[in-house]
Amino acid sequence: MGDLSKPRKPRNSVDNIEDAEQKAVAKIIDYYIKKSGYTKKVFAEIYPKVSLSTLNNIYKPKYGRKISSNVLRQMAVKISYIFGDVSAEKVYIDLLNAAQIDISKNPFEKKDNNEALTRTDMLFYLAQEISNMRNPGKIIRNQSVQFFLCKDTIETLSGVYEMVVNYSEQELPIDYWAIDTNMGNDGGYDLKQTFIKILLDGSYKYPNSRVKYSFLTNNIDTFNMFTKMEIPALNLYLSVIYYTGGVFKEVYIRTGKKPDILDEKGLTIK
């Protein structure tokens, strides 16, 4: 048993942080961690992952060195990814201001198209793309006020589909278009679980043959993997949408249901 006569080491909490700038940064991050309902460990491990030591350093009473703008950017991207309707750029600016880091010398930039940051952006821009299509639909976005809501939704397991487009009131070959962004930590999909969820998704309420399912990704390896698939036993519309440089490219996965009529009706991203 340790020597109880010695003073206890200060706990890693916001109140015990000595540096004013570090404390201001920690307050912002702590707000989002508490809002998420996760522990620091779980929050760090959620995709996009940051090391637990990086997160714990922010809370240490005597950190010893300034927090870098790169770490703050990582945290902003993570927060945006977890909450969906929170702007990564806004959080990043708030964190820079708290740390008293010059924003003009550390602008918010997307270093490449494979960052998790674009998960939120992809959905936002895809919604705009769909709204400009020849047959736009009512766009539903889970946990967001950015898109219109409608009363009919496809019932999913654990809310796997981030966005659903409702065409049920139009004379079209599909009622719904479900876009899935539920990628794993490596940017890819757990194929077994993905297809189980599709097969169970709303099948008792809406025929799967009346739903178009799309995988949205900015990972070229994931895109190539899906485009090479052939699943003739599946009687449903299935596609993969690749997002890069502000451009969407959609390719259909070969199933037992040909997408010709979807192309004809303007229900494909060109």
209 and 159 part of one domain = yes
Q: Is 111 part of a structural domain of the chain? A: no
Per-residue model confidence as pLDDT tens digits over 192-244: 777 777 777 654 566 778 889 998 888 888 889 889 999 998 888 999 999 88
Q: 178 forms bridges with which residues in the sheet?
A: 164, 213
H helices of 100-142, where? 118-131
134 and 101 part of one domain = no
69 and 125 part of one domain = no
pLDDT higher than 70, residue 100: yes
99 and 127 part of one domain = no
DSSP 209: G
Reduce the DSSP state of residue 213 to 3 states and report it: strand
Contact 101, 72 (CB under 8 A): yes
What is the C-alpha to C-alpha distance for residues 141 and 169, in angstroms, rounded to an integer? 19
100 and 135 part of one domain = no
CATH label of the domain that carries residue 199: 3.40.1350
Nearest to 251 by CA among 214, 218, 205: 214
What is the C-alpha to C-alpha distance for residues 22 and 216, in angstroms, rounded to an integer? 37
Q: Is 128 part of a structural domain of the chain? A: yes
145 and 53 part of one domain = no
158 and 250 part of one domain = yes
Q: Is 86 part of a structural domain of the chain? A: yes
Amino acid at 256: G
144 and 34 part of one domain = no
91 and 125 part of one domain = no
What is the C-alpha to C-alpha distance for residues 29 and 31, in angstroms, rounded to an integer? 5
Domain count, the chain: 2
Nearest to 118 by CA among 87, 157, 161: 87
233 and 143 part of one domain = yes
The mean pLDDT value of the chain amounts to 79
For 127, the domain range is: 118-264
Choosing from 105, 136, 158, the residue where a domain stops is: 105
Q: Is 243 part of a structural domain of the chain? A: yes
Q: Is 167 part of a structural domain of the chain? A: yes
Q: What is the pLDDT of residue 92?
A: 92
Lowest mean pLDDT among 149-158, 161-170, 199-208: 149-158
CATH label of the domain that carries residue 52: 1.10.260
What is the C-alpha to C-alpha distance for residues 95 and 107, in angstroms, rounded to an integer? 12
94 and 126 part of one domain = no
Choosing from 83, 105, 127, the residue where a domain stops is: 105
Q: Average pLDDT in the 104-133 region?
A: 70
158 and 27 part of one domain = no
Choosing from 81, 105, 129, the residue where a domain stops is: 105
Q: Is 6 part of a structural domain of the chain? A: no
Q: Is 217 part of a structural domain of the chain? A: yes
